[in-house]
Structure 1
Amino acid sequence: MPYCYKCGVKLEDGVKVCPLCGAIFPDDTLENYFSEKIKNKNDQNICVDTNNIKNHDKNNIEENIKNNSATYPYYSNLPGYKKHLVIFEILSVSLLIVVASLLVINLILDSTISWSKLPSITIFLCWLISTVVIFFLKKPALIGLFTTIAVSLYLVGLDSLDLQIDWSIRIALPIVIISSLVGFFLTTVTIKSKLKGLNIAAYFLLGACLICITIDITLSYNFIKIIQLSWSRYVCFAVIPVSIFFLYIHNRFSKKFPGTRVFRM
């Protein structure tokens, strides 16, 4: 069984970081060297002096410590799912502290819970979405679906604070649904694109145009009862030519950049 070269504690096989002092072990040869050296000691309180280690071993230790740039070695050695749990724990505790602070400030100032409800609900929504992203990072479709549902319910909840539901159904939900569909389409196109370049930027610009058109039509229909394009058409006039140019550049030069024959240089 190997021992730590700094504090002398017994270690399990394959351990690269001492759980007591945080020392980093560079090679298996060093572990065997330190184990044999410690076993020859008769005192139970064993402490290996690094000044007596061979220069070659000391150089290996210093080089390994320099190469290990991890600020928290325990976290860096954790498997993926445990890292997700650590991130979830840190996120939950930090947001809980923020919510508790808001509630306490609200109670101190107003002796009741009033304005702190809105930021608390918003923080809770962010926590839900972040949790889904942390645990289902490799399932973008599930993340998008959950985010759409969560945001829709959040907007309906905000609308119902005055005990009636009005703008959330007529204005907010259509915009959220169209934006989610555009986001799903852009994600799918980005993943399936074999060559990722200016074409991705063009797709996102066109998606932004579609969202602007949706917002413009929704607002005009609900306020003046007429479907028309006002400010969104200027956005389209500015963005669509740029998107077409990006697609042209990508399709023209993606495989091989033209040489002197194309430009006759």
Structure 2
Amino acid sequence: MPFCPRCGVEVDYGVRNCPLCTFNIPEVPYEQEILHEEIELKNYYTELRELKIKRRIRNKGIAFVIIILIAAGGVFNNIMQDLVANGELTFSLYVVSSFFLFIFCMISIFGLVHGWRNNLLMLFIATSITVLSLDFWSGGIEWFWTLGSPLVVVSFGFLSLTVFLIKKLKPGRLYGFSIILACVSILLIMVEIILDLYIGELELQWSLQSLIPNGSLALLCMAGRQLVNRDFFHKLKRYLHF
């Protein structure tokens, strides 16, 4: 309800003069009109936000299609060169397998699949099929089950573990980087174990050597996170009795 600016008495909508002091009351819009304008403004910003989202999705789709078409042109060029030079498909088969994996990597990068679990599952299946096809093109399935499949499973297993820990703990940038370094160090050890078992000689060398710089950098990140913490110097003074 509107009020008289002079005496403060409450008046009805549409009253031009105050019934108490006869002051000229300015025109005040109805509450329903104000509410209607607020709803229209809210709908306008909602539609504008949806329009921006649709435009972003469209631009991502156009960029994705352009990149895929450029890569497909390169694959077609390799196939033609292979047919002209060798009379059959030889090295171009490996290019086709790599292009298959490239498509799914682009799908994940452009965010066309929602959820990190769905993305990892999609990339795991695509990588497994690509590795299997590479082994198949080389003359038959030989090293896929003993080397390729264990490497893919271990790699994506540790990648899933890293993403899960960061999503679950939300440790921050420095602690998150420490978790990544720890998982990478363990992953390198597992990769060397798989390679050594495939060769027949178990000798851990370069994975343990990489553990030293990775572990040192992880400890430095954890120490840096503690230094950033405001309570660190206070606790240090209490510990040193300053």
TM-score bracket relative to the smaller structure: 0.5 to 0.7
1:179 alignment partner AA: S
1:159 alignment partner AA: D
Match of 2:69 in 1: 93
* Structure 2: tracts of 5 or more residues without a match: 1-51
Say which SS state the counterpart of residue 169 (structure 1) adopts: helix
Instruction: Provide the aligned length of Structure 1 versus Structure 2.
Output: 189
CA offsets 1:221-241 (integer angstroms, 9 cap, x no match) = 222254x52332222233223
Q: Decide which structure has greater helix share.
A: 2
Q: TM-score, normalised by structure 1?
A: 0.61
Alpha-carbon separation, structure 1, partners of 2:231 and 2:113: 36
* Structure 1: tracts of 5 or more residues without a match: 1-75
Of residues 130, 142, 157 in structure 1, which corresponds to 2:106? 130
Alpha-carbon separation, structure 1, partners of 2:90 and 2:213: 44
2:134 alignment partner AA: L
CA offsets 1:173-203 (integer angstroms, 9 cap, x no match) = 1121111111112222333444522212211
Structure having the higher Rg:
2
Match of 2:207 in 1: 232
Q: Percent identity?
A: 15
Match of 1:183 in 2: 159
Say which SS state the counterpart of residue 110 (structure 2) adopts: helix
Say which SS state the counterpart of residue 218 (structure 1) adopts: helix
Q: CA deviation at 1:209?
A: 0.8
1:85 alignment partner AA: G
Are the structure 2 counterparts of residues 172 and 94 from structure 1 closer, same or farther at C-alpha, using a change threshold of 3 Å?
A: same
**Contact (CA 8 Å) 1:216, 1:229: kept in 2 or not?**
yes
CA RMSD of aligned residues (A): 2.9
Match of 1:253 in 2: 227
Q: CA deviation at 1:156?
A: 1.3
- Per mean C-alpha deviation after superposition, the further-off stretch among 145-154 and 123-132 is 123-132
Are the structure 2 counterparts of residues 128 and 259 from structure 1 closer, same or farther at C-alpha, using a change threshold of 3 Å?
A: closer
- Residue 94 of structure 2 corresponds to residue 118 of structure 1: yes
Of residues 172, 185, 198 in structure 2, which corresponds to 1:196? 172
1:246 alignment partner AA: C
Q: CA deviation at 1:257?
A: 6.7
Q: TM-score, normalised by structure 2?
A: 0.67
- Residue 146 of structure 2 corresponds to residue 170 of structure 1: yes
1:237 alignment partner AA: I
Q: CA deviation at 1:106?
A: 2.2
